[in-house]
Amino acid sequence: MSNGISHLRTRCKAALAALLLLPFTVAPAFAQQTQQAVRGWPENWQMGMSKGVTPVAERLDSFHDMLLVIITGITIFVLALMLYTLFRFRKSANPVPSKVTHNTLVEILWTVVPVVILVVIAIPSFRLMYYMDKAKQPEMTVKITGHQWYWSYELPDQKVDEFASNMVPEDKLQPEHIRKLSVDYPLIVPVDTDITLLITGADVIHSWLLPQAGVQRHAVPGRTQETWMRITAPGTYYGQCNQICGTLHAYMPIEVHAVPKEQFQRWVQAIASSTAKDKLRDANEKVLGLNYKWMDAPKTADAASAR
Binding site for Cu ion (CB under 5 A): 206, 241, 245
Shortest reach from residue 240's CB to Cu ion, in Å? 9
Nearer to Cu ion, 38 or 252 (CB): 252
Nearer to Cu ion, 144 or 160 (CB): 144
Residue 202: phi, psi to the nearest 5? -95, -25
DSSP 220: -
Nearer to Cu ion, 145 or 158 (CB): 145
Please give the radius of gyration of the chain, using alpha carbons only, rounded to the nearest integer.
28
Shortest reach from residue 241's CB to Cu ion, in Å? 3
- The number of C-alpha atoms within 13 Å of 173 and in the hemisphere containing its C-beta is 11
Shortest reach from residue 123's CB to Cu ion, in Å? 34
Shortest reach from residue 219's CB to Cu ion, in Å? 7
> What is the C-alpha separation between 203 and 220, in angstroms, rounded?
8
Pairing of strands 187-190, 253-259: parallel
β-bridge partners, 297:
none
Shortest reach from residue 198's CB to Cu ion, in Å? 17
> What is the C-alpha separation between 117 and 31, in angstroms, rounded?
35
> What is the C-alpha separation between 288 and 267, in angstroms, rounded?
8
Nearer to Cu ion, 209 or 303 (CB): 209
Amino acid making up residue 32: Q
Nearer to Cu ion, 38 or 210 (CB): 210
